[in-house]
Chains A and B, each alone.
Chain A
Amino acid sequence: MEHKKKIQVKDLDFFYGENQVLYNINLDIPEKKVTALIGPSGCGKSTFLRCLNRMNDLIPGIKVRGKIILDGQDIYDTGVDVVKLRSKVGMVFQKPNPFPKSIFENVAYGFRIKGIKDKDFIDERVKTSLRMAGLWEEVHDRLSSSALGLSGGQQQRLCIARAVAVEPEVLLMDEPASALDPIATKKIEELIYELKKEFTIVIVTHNMQQAARVADYTAFFLMGKLIEFDKTENIFTSPRKKETEDYITGRFG
């Protein structure tokens, strides 16, 4: 790979209790590129993604083997500060999960927990983040109303704004556009295009065209195994593995 590696995944196995769902994953995620994870439902994409910011730690009875090296440091080493890790590796979830707070407070949350008091700075960041997420026009006159009153798609863009506001180095997105209409989806894709100038992005998607449009690299998962990982154009035009081809062509009809 000709790009600098941001994250190196080495021999990763993952278990929910006795149930192994990831098998020996080896993958290098390039810096400031978009990497798409594709594969059929239940193949372990979300699980893999949630390993990258140790979000799976919250689930009792999980077991992780192998290494995930972020900037030269194994994030599963003992003594790693998970809180620091997560402010470095942000996440947008499959289902929108705004806090039961105002729209403004949702986006400002990342600063509040860091104890940042500078009001002008926060105002400015909230505004730019909402702009980036393509939500500013719709909500600028009701920033203080509850985020739960937004539509599902708006909630999802709010969650994206919330995640980019704190400027993580890596942004994990789990099907961020699955609840959005084509226009909002296009906004998100443009946003991803903008974001990759500064951030490393890993995105799970079920939408092949979307992967083809936004991703520089694509990883194909099948039943907990990484089948193929390559530049997106290679995956979509000349896959080396038969499974990859079947999946992609199956999807395209």
Chain B
Amino acid sequence: MKKRSIQNSISKIIPMPLAFSPLWPFIPICNLRDFSLLLNKGRSPNTQIQGEGSLLSYKTKDNIIKYLFFLCALVSVLVLGLIVYFLFIEGVPIFKVVSFKDFLFGKYWYPTSDPPSFGILPLFLGSIYVTGLSSVFSIPLGVLTAIYLAEIANPKTRSIIKPIIELLAALPSVVIGFFGMVVVAPFLQKYLDLDTGLNMFNAALMLAFMSIPTICSISEDAIYSVPRELKEGSLALGATHLQTIIRVILPASISGISTGVILGMSRAIGETMVVLMVAGGAAMIPESIFDPVRPMPASIAAEMGEAPYHSEHYFALFAIGIVLFFLTLIFNLIADHISHKYKQVGASTL
């Protein structure tokens, strides 16, 4: 489950390799033991040790296996490379029509009017605001839940709550979007007296639901794997449980927690279906959290169908894809950087 949720968020930048799994045909071959058995078929163990009479020398076999693994790894890299390549081929031509600056900072997104206007600032800010607002909900909820599960809950409660939270990660985003649309939106509209319940607030809430499992499960893992000895060391000095959590356990797991938070946010920023369904879809710079917005993924998904092939609009949508790609890339690089930077140096045990 844990791996899954990391993959989910990573697959926002590399959607193809995991979804299409070009690795499948290789996996059976990659089983190292079976493979070397295959090569040694019919040879007695004795001759293997001497290295004579074996079909191939161990060195050659090692190399073959090494290259096979390398090839498997290469497939993913290649696919990613191809996707990025096409993203650029299809996106860059828009910059013949608008300058990069006007594209990024233009306030008006009217791709179909005459003359068209390709300013993605409203979409870009839509993405940033929605993600920012959703992390206001998801970070405290996710991290506090993680602390509760790893430190406070008794094993039984933990064994019940943890799978439920991870099940949340397994919910298809369209289901979450649907929930936002038919349950949350009318509720917001009625009780907050809004024009529409499909707005930034609603989208942020739904995105928070989607990133909480990632944040919670990665953080919980980090907190849970803080060595028991550290905790005991703190308690033995007369610290309370709460002091131990705040002063020892959280600092010791901060890299894992930050990684979880950032992966959770990058999951939110790339999420398409939910924002398409509940964000309201207005390509305007929002003025309040209850304004409808149109984040970048939603624009691409909504407009791609109607944009004629190789039209300016089409190129512009791909260029939004490039921006989105770099945004999630930055998030993932930050996560990577943090998890390396705060890695414990030196073993605390012998």
Contact = CB atoms under 8 A, between A and B. Distances in A.
Chain A partners chain B: yes
Interface of A: 53, 55, 58, 60, 83-84, 86-88, 90-91, 93, 95-101, 109-110, 112-114, 146, 148-150, 152, 155, 159, 162-163, 166, 179
Contact of A99 (B155, B228, B238, B252): B252
Interface in B227-283: 227-240, 243, 247-248, 251-252
A101 B248 CA distance: 9
B348 A58 contact: no
B236 A53 contact: yes
A97 B238 contact: no
Interface residues of B, number: 28
Q: Which of B235, B236, B252, B348 has the most CB of A within 10 A?
A: B236
A162 B239 CA distance: 13
B230 A99 contact: yes
B227 A90 contact: no
Contacts of B237: 86-87, 90, 109-110, 113, 162-163, 166
Contacts of B248: 99
Contacts of B348: 96-98, 100, 148, 155
26 contacts: A55-B236, A60-B155, A83-B240, A84-B238, A86-B238, A88-B238, A90-B236, A91-B232, A93-B232, A95-B229, A96-B348, A97-B229, A97-B230, A98-B348, A99-B251, A99-B252, A109-B234, A109-B239, A113-B234, A113-B238, A113-B243, A146-B346, A148-B344, A155-B348, A162-B237, A166-B238
B350 interface: yes
Given A96-B348, A163-B236, 16 more contacts: A55-B235, A55-B236, A86-B236, A86-B238, A87-B238, A96-B350, A97-B232, A99-B233, A100-B252, A110-B237, A112-B247, A113-B243, A148-B344, A148-B348, A162-B233, A179-B350
A201 to B, nearest CB: 15
A60 B228 CA distance: 13
Nearest to A156: B350
B46 interface: no
Contacts of A149: 345-346
B238 A101 contact: no
Nearest to B246: A113
Contacts of A155: 348
A100 B344 CA distance: 7
Top-10 shortest CB links A-B: A87-B238, A97-B229, A91-B236, A148-B346, A97-B233, A152-B350, A113-B239, A110-B237, A86-B238, A95-B349
B251 A101 contact: yes
Contact of A83 (B231, B238, B247, B346): B238
Contacts of B344: 100, 148
B289 to A, nearest CB: 38
A87 B240 CA distance: 10
A88 to B, nearest CB: 8
Interface in B136-180: 154-155
Contacts of B236: 53, 55, 86, 90-91, 93, 163
Contacts of A86: 235-238
B349 A97 contact: yes
B345 A55 contact: no
Nearest to A54: B235
A96 B232 CA distance: 11
A60 B234 CA distance: 18
